[in-house]
Amino acid sequence: MIQIYESSDYVISFNYDKTLKGTIELFKKLVQRLSEAGLNIQCHNDNLDSIFLFISCSSSRLHLEASNSRRKDWLYGIEKVSPYMRDDEEITVSERLRLIYDIISLPVSEGGAGICLDLNEWKLVKFIIPLHDYKFNKNCMNMILKKWVLDESDLDILKNHFGEKIALYFFFIQFYILWLIFPTIFGLFIHFFFPRYYIVFAITITLWSIIFIRMWKMKEVKLSLRWGVYGISKIYQRRRSFMGDKIGKDAISGKTILVFSIWKRLLWKFISFLFQMVFSIVIICILTGIFFVEIYFLEIYDGPFQKYLVIVPSILFMMFIPIFSIIYNIMSTYINYYENFETDIDFESSSIRKAFLVNFIISYTTLFIITCFYVPFGSDIIPKINIINIQSIFIDSKNIGIKLFTINSNKLKKQFIYYMITARAINFFQQWTFPFLFRFFFSILRKIYTTKFSRIGYEYMNNSSKESEFLQKIRSQTTLPEFSVFDSYLELIIQFGYILLFSIVWPLGSLCSFLSNIIKIISDYIKLLYTTKRSIPFRTDTIGLWASYLTLLSWLGAILMTIFIYFHKYSSNTYIFSELVALGFLSNHLYTFLYIISKKIFGYIFHQQKYILREYYSLKIDHLKRSMDDNTASYKQHQYIKHDYTDIIQTGTCIITDFFKKYKKE
């Protein structure tokens, strides 16, 4: 039995419901759906209030799914050769796992089991995960430690095991680290030999960012062509959890499908917009208030407990910002769900927009205030600040005084250094410490809970020592967090923004980013291979909307560096020159901004790409019908063997019933 478990591709954890009847009915439905989709199933008790289902797939069923997938790729222009010329091509590990997950999650109408964790119908299915191959993980880690810089063939190994999405992320961060070498060396040179706000540094960094973005897009295309996924992001793949409310036609294939009402979508988009604007304004107000409290107690107030009151801003930040961030993330997820995006790309893009907005505000607001308010206007306004009229409390005290306020020319630099060094160190500590502490306490609770239920199901499952050891490894994998490229991309994009927007203040910022990214890529490899669940492989040919935010930050960086040069002049002779530079930059960017907006509007109205794809799709369909011979047609109609899983249902029912008799007692 242990060999069957080890050869499984996926593990599904099925939790018990509040009632025995509801649990058994949903368990039977789950097993029947998987069986009808052509998957092999084995059942085992988890020793807790759940059951493990071990899922594997026969060769004939897998090749049928591979043929369907490749035919679809060819219809959409991803594959350049006929899918029937690739029937004998070897299926990689990542492709195998992706295809099996498609069988599990695709709707029943498309030959799948229709099991999606986001649907309330499957609320008792806790997770669906592939199992780690620890031998491969060990060899992969050895390869990484020996080479450090992976070439394309090494990335192919990652792609073939973990899928294109994860491999592309590691290619991006490696590419980014290598490109940071130039601004690191140049920043060192500028820091030691030239004054701050050096215009040559601003122009060079802006030019570097433009070239970096263009080169990345070229590399992205080259790699997607190598992996055979170029254009995959343009396939309008429906989300598994999409819920249509009326009948319509697909914009490309012309097939009759369920669609979501445009008025409901516009309503939820409006709600989403209001939600983002309200939260953005609230967070900006909180950060602005915290900044002025800090300025007051640090640079104006000279009364009792001054040395203790300076920590009040940090306390306020820790009290409000994390809480508001958590609330924002929860509500963003909720709104994203009700926006009911039809495709995975639209759903992911919406998630990226919401996450980037709040992180942009939290990361940069204080630095923007220092740049655009504190430095140019602080000497006129800040001395007049009197937070909650605190001086009046001590008006008769001889110990109370007001400091003579002067602009702290190093404040922006110190704040930037804090974000580049201290904040990253704290973030790294949190990423590695909190998950391990959580797992440690969870493992203790699990042992206590497991001891209580350890006898359940043993009369049905007689575990050997090897089997118990293997099951324990699976249980330990289920407690691991997921590996998220979303959070990693977000961290890198925000870091890229720090370099583009503020490194003119402290040119060593690129050096800090270079060193921290070396640590990050190593820690991410460790996370991927050892400390997170194995990710389900997904295909992609691009980093998506993150690339657009790279361009946005590069554009904003050019504007902000102009402001720095204008407000930090070194002689009166530079006044006119600075204004001319600022005017030139701002007029150019106004034109660029209007151009982008108009392009988006007209692109949204005409949907040219969809019309082109629809014509292309129709031609391919006609060609496919004409070119299919008898053998191909018979292969298409081939029916995979469906197994009888009565024994699996019986065993699972007995385990569930025994658990309810002993511990639930309805």
d(CA 241, CA 333): 14
Q: Provide mean pLDDT across the span 501-516.
A: 92
d(CA 65, CA 9): 15
Per-residue pLDDT, 596: 62
First to last CA, the chain: 33
d(CA 561, CA 589): 13
For the ranges 35-49, 589-603, 619-633, the maximum mean pLDDT occurs at 35-49
- Residue 114 tokens, joined: 């229709």
The angle that helices 509-526 and 134-147 make with each other, rounded to 10 degrees, is 150
Contacts of 460 (CB under 8 A, 6+ apart): 45, 651, 654, 655
d(CA 467, CA 3): 9
pLDDT in tens, 121-133: 888 888 899 988 8
d(CA 412, CA 426): 20
pLDDT in tens, 62-80: 888 888 888 877 777 776 6
Q: Is the pLDDT of residue 400 over 60?
A: no
- Place 509 in a pLDDT band, splitting at 50, 70 and 90: very high
Q: Is the pLDDT of residue 434 over 70?
A: no
- Phi, psi (deg, nearest 5) at residue 104: -65, -40
H or E element, residue 476: helix 465-478
Chain mean pLDDT for the chain = 78
Contacts of 258 (CB under 8 A, 6+ apart): 242, 243, 244, 245, 246, 247, 248
Contact yes or no for 656/74 (Cβ under 8 A): no
- Place 459 in a pLDDT band, splitting at 50, 70 and 90: very low
Q: Provide mean pLDDT across the span 638-664.
A: 72
Residue whose pair of structure tokens reads 């040179």 in the numeric block: 189
In a 13 Å sphere around the CA of 155, the CA atoms on its Cβ side amount to 21
Q: Is the pLDDT of residue 620 over 80?
A: no
- Rg of the chain over CA atoms, in angstroms? 29
H or E element, residue 448: helix 423-453
For the ranges 187-201, 297-311, 612-626, the maximum mean pLDDT occurs at 187-201
Per-residue pLDDT, 519: 92
- Phi, psi (deg, nearest 5) at residue 12: -110, 130
Q: Where are the domains of the chain?
A: 2-131+643-664
Say what the pTM is: 0.85
* Cα-based distances in Å from 517 to 418, 510, 521, 537, 544: 17, 10, 6, 24, 21
Lowest mean pLDDT among 82-96, 471-485, 514-528: 82-96
d(CA 188, CA 194): 10
Best CA proximity match to 642, nearest among 101, 39, 103, 57: 39
pLDDT in tens, 136-194: 999 999 998 888 888 888 999 999 999 999 999 999 999 999 999 999 999 999 888 88
Per-residue pLDDT, 1: 59
Per-residue pLDDT, 460: 46
Q: Provide mean pLDDT across the span 32-46.
A: 86
pLDDT in tens, 332-363: 988 988 888 877 888 888 999 999 999 999 99
Per-residue pLDDT, 630: 41
Q: Provide mean pLDDT across the span 107-121.
A: 82
- Residue 20 tokens, joined: 């025995």
- Per the DSSP assignment, residues forming a β-bridge with 50 are 15
Per-residue pLDDT, 69: 83
Whole-number percent of the chain with pLDDT over 70 = 73
- Place 451 in a pLDDT band, splitting at 50, 70 and 90: low
Contact yes or no for 533/483 (Cβ under 8 A): yes
Best CA proximity match to 536, nearest among 84, 101, 186, 80: 101
Whole-number percent of the chain with pLDDT over 90 = 24
- Residue 307 tokens, joined: 């040395």
Contact yes or no for 35/27 (Cβ under 8 A): no
Contact yes or no for 108/114 (Cβ under 8 A): yes
Lowest mean pLDDT among 167-176, 421-430, 512-521: 421-430
Best CA proximity match to 542, nearest among 232, 236, 235, 239: 232
Q: Is the pLDDT of residue 395 over 60?
A: no
d(CA 119, CA 243): 10
3-state secondary structure of 472: helix
Residue 379 vs residue 254, higher pLDDT: 379
Lowest mean pLDDT among 120-129, 275-284, 295-304, 583-592: 583-592
For the ranges 21-25, 151-155, 201-205, 486-490, the maximum mean pLDDT occurs at 486-490
d(CA 10, CA 103): 12
Per-residue pLDDT, 580: 52
Please report, as a single letter, which amino acid is at residue 71.
R
Contacts of 493 (CB under 8 A, 6+ apart): 356, 546, 549, 550, 553
d(CA 315, CA 432): 23
pLDDT in tens, 206-236: 889 988 998 999 899 899 888 888 888 777 6
Best CA proximity match to 258, nearest among 342, 339, 344: 342
Residue 616 vs residue 185, higher pLDDT: 185
Lowest mean pLDDT among 131-140, 348-357, 396-405, 530-539: 396-405
Q: Provide mean pLDDT across the span 307-314.
A: 80
Residue 301 vs residue 535, higher pLDDT: 535
Per-residue pLDDT, 489: 95
Contact yes or no for 164/97 (Cβ under 8 A): no
